[in-house]
Amino acid sequence: MSRYVIVGSTGDIGKKLHEQLSTEETITFSREKEPEYDSTHHFLDLSYAQDKAVIESFFDGVDGIDGLIWCPGYSLFSLVQDTALDEVDNQYNISIRNLVAFIQVLLPKLRRRKGRIIVITSIWGRHGASYESIYASMKGAQEALIKSLAKELAPTGVTVNGVAPGIVEGAMTALLSEADQQHLLDELPQACYVKPAEVMHAVQYLLDENAQSVTGEIMNVNGGWYT
C-alpha cells in the first residue's frame, strides 16, 4: 500500500484528492475541518511559521512516503497598498515557508520510495492578477521552487511538479458576487469553472509510475484560459 501526505486535505481540491486516495494510507493536515475520509489526521495552522521539530513529530515511525501533495491556501483580495503585512506573512507561510519545512522533514522518506512532490499552484502564479498581487506572487514563488527542486532532486528519483488550475468551482468562487462570477464565466473560453475532480485527475497522472520522467512541470488545468 502506498503512503501519501496531503496538506490542505479539507478544501475543495484537497477533499477530492483525499477521496481518490482514500484506499491508500494517508496522513492529512488541515487547519480546523475534520476530513471526510479515513486518515491519520493532524490539525495545523499553516498561516503561522511551523517549527521543524513539530512537523517531525507527526511522522515518528514513518519510514517511507510515496507522495507529498501540497494544496492549502485561501485567496487574498486586496490592493497592494491596502494589504496588511501580517496578511503577506500568512500567505508566505502557507505557500512557501511551511512547504519548504515539510519538504525538509519528508525528503529522506521520499527518497526511499522515489516519491512525488506535487504542489497545487494557480493560474495567477503564471500570469499575475490585479487585486490579488500578494496571492499571485506567492504562487509564482511556488513555481520557481518546483522548477529548482526538480533539478536539485533529479538524481534522487524524487519528482517535483505543480498543477496550476484556473478558476475552480468551490468555496473561493462562492465568495464572489453573482455579477463578478458572471463576468468571469464570460471570459472563460469554455464558459465554465474547473472542477476539483479535474485537478485530481492531473495529480493522479503525476503520481502514476509511468510519470517517473515528468519533473519540473507545471500542468495547466484552465479550460484554455491563458490570461
**pLDDT at position 52:** 97
pLDDT surpassing 80 at residue 175: no
**Count of Cβ atoms closer than 10 Å to residue 226 Cβ:** 11
**What CA–CA distances, in Å, run from 152 to 44, 66, 90, 216, 217?**
28, 18, 27, 10, 14
Pairing of strands 67-70, 3-7: parallel
Question: Which ranges of 45-167 would DSSP assign to H, the alpha helix?
Answer: 52-57, 85-92, 98-112, 123-127, 133-153
More confident of the two residues 85 and 170:
85
**pLDDT at position 154:** 98
Q: For 58-70, what is each residue's pLDDT tens digit? A: 999 999 999 999 9
- Indicate which residue of 4, 74, 135, 205 is catalytic: 135
pLDDT band at 128 (very low <50, low <70, confident <90, very high): confident
Domain 3-167+195-220 falls in which CATH fold? Rossmann fold (3.40.50)
**pLDDT at position 80:** 92
Mean pLDDT of 12-26: 95
More confident of the two residues 211 and 191:
211
> Mean pLDDT of all residues in the chain?
94
Q: Is 48 a catalytic residue?
A: no
More confident of the two residues 122 and 75:
122
d(CA 88, CA 143): 18
Of 48-52, 115-119, 122-126, the least confident: 122-126
Mean pLDDT of 130-159: 96
**pLDDT at position 51:** 96
pLDDT band at 7 (very low <50, low <70, confident <90, very high): very high
**What CA–CA distances, in Å, run from 121 to 102, 109, 174?**
16, 23, 19
d(CA 172, CA 184): 13
Mean pLDDT of 32-52: 96
User: Grid coordinates standing for 78?
Assistant: 486586496
For the chain, domain boundaries: 3-167+195-220
**pLDDT at position 125:** 85
pLDDT band at 187 (very low <50, low <70, confident <90, very high): confident
